[in-house]
Amino acid sequence: MFGLILSTTPAQSRTRGLIKRDFCGYLTIYTELDLEDSKDKRVKVCLRGRELLRNSILNKGSAFTQEEREKLGLDGLLPPHVSTMDQQLARRYANFLECGNDLGKYHFLTDLQNRNETLFYRFCSDHVVETLPYIYTPVVGDASLNFSLHYHHSRGIYIPYDKKDQMETILKNAGKKDVSVIVATDGGRILGLGDVGVGGMTIPIGKTSLYTLFGGVAPESVLPIFLDVGTDNQELLKDPLYMGRREKRITGDDYFAFMDAFVAAVKKVFPKAMLQWEDLLGVHAQKVLDRYRDDILSFNDDIQGTASVVLAGLLSALKMKGSALAEEKIAIFGGGAAGLGVGKSIYRYLIHNGMEEKEARDRIHIIDRNGLTYIGQKNLREEHELFAKEKPSEYDDVISVDETIKCFDITILIGASAQKGAFTEKTIEGLLKNTSTPVVFPLSNPHTKAEATPEMIINVSKGKAIVATGTAFPQVVYKGKVFAIGQCNNVYIFPGIGLFTSAFDIKTIPEEFFYIAGETLSEISPPLLFPEFKNLKEASKQIAFEIAKYAALKGLIKEKDESSILRRIETSMWYPKYFPYD
Ligand code: NAD
């Protein structure tokens, strides 16, 4: 058991904007509006000695002062020199550079996070471009494949199917009280890698870290959760070292009964938490979202976050092109959680902006395993019916992406199929017959699954196409001109959503919030498609602010004026800095 109580000097207690967050029942943290005013802030901790060093939230490592070492039973447990945070950061950066390969860097950062979260987040924000690929895509994908072999530290919560009657107890075991963001997955479809079983836990761990890094949600207030309903990955089932539940995946009514119990337990144990669904199996993703979206504060990042960042990318691309979404014809290759989510979101966005329903529907084309979806198609999936087209009589039963482009004058092509190389040179040439500036977003992750490389698209289009990918790709040089490749990464959106839901008392997340997030992101982006990663915390703040203004207008939150909205957001943001301990 440990405790932390912040005490302030008399002068400080008069500082404006003190808010209180309760954590664990034992620990109370006060955050102040103006961090510069908080120089005299002191923190009372009840942990001592090695227990304090082992607590990743409270640990400061070699930065504990001499006075703290004497008071808190740390004398002799650390090398004598008291380091500044800058010295700690310099050492860690040298260590980071020493790591031989990608997984080495991933594990180095994970270890740092498990030892000292304040230093980890400060390190990652100081080296954001270098560290982001290791905290999240693409390296987190490799880590998910190697999870059982490399597992060495507990983070988050695992709920196996056979413990479905003990969910509340398990959630309480997290030792957290004031959880404001949960990321939960069942590992069904991790990135484009498929069913990786319990290895999927690397994704909620990575995403909760990004809620802290860019959304300013305090590290003690985020919780990654793995819902272990089994795996259908035969190799994992046979692997003697596999650490997940060694049973086939639960499906159908049993799956939903498990999810019902989970949602009920979250509502009870963490009533203020926002629940983000992550990388669920395609057949479950939309159903889970629809089933619980009015019941618990929740959203699905693969569906709604992707749709929002793609909307932002398209709006930015069309600004560069000098066109409008309402003038374009869009084809989406891969009508699963992400692709269909993007399609539906663009459809609703067009209607939201005044287009007739039929026209909006006609502008969006879904291409799945059996080619373009059309009315009367054999095995047409129910969820594809909305966008099913009249079948052009001159084509065979399977209408390919190239035929769709030609027949329906497609100008924007989005890939969310995890089918490497599905867009060929011929595909790009087809688009160029319909428009001088095609917009092509091969979004599938990791890079080994991308539908096309930016290099091919830019070369074939002679530098005309506007390209964004799902994962980082190197810049392309065509005839001496450098093309930076925008990364259509959900990380631009979800931290801002989490910041908003953490700062305000809100019950549900309406679809319009994702339009606002997309529009805001596009507005604050430079002439490139997206802002630079180093500006992500500011971008999240702006997104939270614009959503809150809309929510205030609709009477969804009690704050009314812009200054109290901003103040609410700023006071709820956590920053990685050390405070003196008593
Ligand atoms: P999913 O499994 O739900 O959907 C994939 C879809 O592709 C399915 O409908 C499947 O039938 C279809 N498909 C498979 N083979 C095909 C083929 N040959 N032709 C046409 N369609 C085919 O997965 P998802 O969650 O939608 O994710 C798909 C991909 O998008 C993944 O690689 C994922 O990493 C990526 N993604 C990227 C972003 C982003 O860039 N921001 C966000 C989410 C997902």
Strand ranges of the sheet holding 298-300, from the earlier edge strand across to the other edge: 157-160, 222-228, 181-185, 274-278, 298-300
Q: Is the CB of 458 under 6 A from ligand 1?
A: no
- Which residue's alpha carbon is nearest to atom 17 within ligand 1? 369
What is the model's pLDDT at position 472?
Answer: 82
Please report, as a single letter, which amino acid is at residue 420: K
> pTM for this one?
0.89
How remote is the CA of residue 282 from the centroid of ligand 1, in Å? 9
Q: Which helix (H) or strand (E) holds 364?
A: strand 364-368
| Chain centroid, CA 463 distance in Å | 31
For tokens 């812009």, name the residue. 562
Structure tokens at 156: 């988050």
DSSP 125-140: HHTHHHHHHHHSTTHH
Catalytic residue among 30, 121, 134, 136: 136
Distances from the Cα of 565 to the Cαs of 19, 90, 133, 154, 170, in angstroms? 14, 37, 33, 37, 35
How remote is the CA of residue 337 from the centroid of ligand 1, in Å? 7
Look at the chain and count its residues.
582
How remote is the CA of residue 444 from the centroid of ligand 1, in Å? 6
- Which residue's alpha carbon is nearest to atom 1 within ligand 1? 336
What is the model's pLDDT at position 10?
Answer: 32
* Residue 285, Ramachandran bin (φ over 0: left; ψ between -120 and 50: alpha; else beta): alpha
What is the model's pLDDT at position 21?
Answer: 42
Q: Is the CB of 282 under 6 A from ligand 1?
A: yes
What is the model's pLDDT at position 20?
Answer: 42
Active site residue 575: no
Task: Tell which atom from ligand 1 comes closest to the C-alpha of 490.
Answer: 41
Structure tokens at 138: 């693409």
Contact between residue 304 and residue 494 where contact means Cβ atoms under 8 Å apart: no
Q: Is the CB of 470 under 6 A from ligand 1?
A: yes
How remote is the CA of residue 422 from the centroid of ligand 1, in Å? 12
What is the model's pLDDT at position 40?
Answer: 59
Contact between residue 360 and residue 347 where contact means Cβ atoms under 8 Å apart: yes
Nearest to residue 95, comparing CAs of 83, 107, 81, 77? 107
How remote is the CA of residue 384 from the centroid of ligand 1, in Å? 14
Check residue 14 and report its DSSP letter: T
Helices (H), 425-535: 425-434, 454-460, 494-503, 512-524
For tokens 């990663």, name the residue. 533
Q: Is the CB of 191 under 6 A from ligand 1?
A: yes
| CA separation for the pair 492, 531 (Å, rounded) | 8
Pocket-testing residue among 276, 302, 441, ligand 1, by greatest number of atoms within 8 A of Cβ: 302
| Chain centroid, CA 157 distance in Å | 18
Please report, as a single letter, which amino acid is at residue 322: G
Q: Is the CB of 60 under 6 A from ligand 1?
A: no
For tokens 């009015």, name the residue. 294
Task: Tell which atom from ligand 1 comes closest to the C-alpha of 441.
Answer: 40
Active site residue 207: yes
Contact between residue 211 and residue 217 where contact means Cβ atoms under 8 Å apart: yes
Q: Is the CB of 545 under 6 A from ligand 1?
A: no
DSSP lists the bridge partners of residue 42 as: 7
DSSP lists the bridge partners of residue 324 as: none
DSSP lists the bridge partners of residue 6 as: 43
3-state secondary structure of 532: coil
For tokens 């912040």, name the residue. 6
Cα torsion angle, 419, 420, 423, 424, sign: negative
pLDDT tens sequence across 258-293: 999 999 999 999 999 999 999 998 789 999 999 999
Q: Is the CB of 185 under 6 A from ligand 1?
A: no
Catalytic residue among 105, 207, 449, 541: 207
What is the model's pLDDT at position 138?
Answer: 85
Nearest to residue 470, comparing CAs of 327, 326, 334, 324? 334
Stretches where the chain sits below pLDDT 70 are 1-40
Q: Which helix (H) or strand (E) holds 539?
A: helix 536-553
| CA separation for the pair 231, 235 (Å, rounded) | 10
How remote is the CA of residue 122 from the centroid of ligand 1, in Å? 34
Nearest to residue 556, comparing CAs of 266, 297, 269, 289? 297
What is the model's pLDDT at position 13?
Answer: 32
| CA separation for the pair 141, 470 (Å, rounded) | 13
What is the model's pLDDT at position 6?
Answer: 38
How remote is the CA of residue 191 from the centroid of ligand 1, in Å? 9
| CA separation for the pair 404, 495 (Å, rounded) | 36
